[in-house]
């Protein structure tokens, strides 16, 4: 088995979420776990910032004002190869299917505020994506 070399720079995660308290809470959790994070409060502000700011993975709320998260996921899926995570309060089966069909690699439907188990699972998925990206570099 080949050892994965240690990361020299943290994985950069962009969070696109209009609810400031929730966005800040997710960012703080990820930063506390060694990730570099930048934030956008809408699809439009994300699109302006991604031109000049790197991201290895994007977490997107589906219920964004203006252009919704599904549209942003679909656009990013067609124009690049960024791993996309839908993180939203919407959790029905049809919404999950729509998110995955739009191009999300992972979908987390939250039923309440961030809980340890949910964020541990999200952290594991982000780690899996980082591992996947590392494997692609070989």
The candidate with the shortest Cα–Cα distance to 53, out of 19, 82, 88, is 82
Rounded to 5 degrees, φ, ψ at 26 are -65, -45
Q: Report pTM.
A: 0.73
pLDDT of residue 3: 47
pLDDT of residue 2: 45
**What residues have CB less than 8 Å from 61, skipping those under 6 apart?**
16, 17, 18, 19, 69, 86, 87, 88
pLDDT tens digits along 113-134:
444 444 545 555 555 555 444 4
Domains in the chain, ordered, with CATH?
Answer: 12-136 (3.40.50.2300)
pLDDT at 1 over 50: no
Identify each DSSP E strand in the chain by its residue range.
12-16, 36-40, 57-60, 84-88, 106-109
């Amino acid at each position: 088995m080949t050892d994965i070399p240690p990361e020299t720079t943290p994985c950069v995660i962009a969070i696109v979420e209009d609810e400031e308290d929730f966005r800040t809470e997710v960012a703080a959790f990820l930063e506390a776990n060694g990730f570099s994070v930048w934030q956008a409060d809408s699809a439009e502000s994300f699109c302006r910032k991604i031109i000049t700011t790197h991201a290895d993975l994007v977490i997107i709320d589906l219920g964004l004002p203006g252009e919704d998260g599904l549209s942003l996921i679909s656009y990013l899926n067609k124009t690049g190869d960024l791993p996309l995570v839908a993180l939203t309060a919407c959790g029905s089966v049809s919404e999950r299917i729509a998110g995955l069909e739009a191009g999300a690699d992972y979908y987390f439907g939250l039923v309440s505020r961030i809980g340890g188990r949910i964020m541990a699972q999200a952290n594991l998925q982000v780690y899996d994506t980082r591992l996947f990206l590392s494997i692609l570099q070989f």
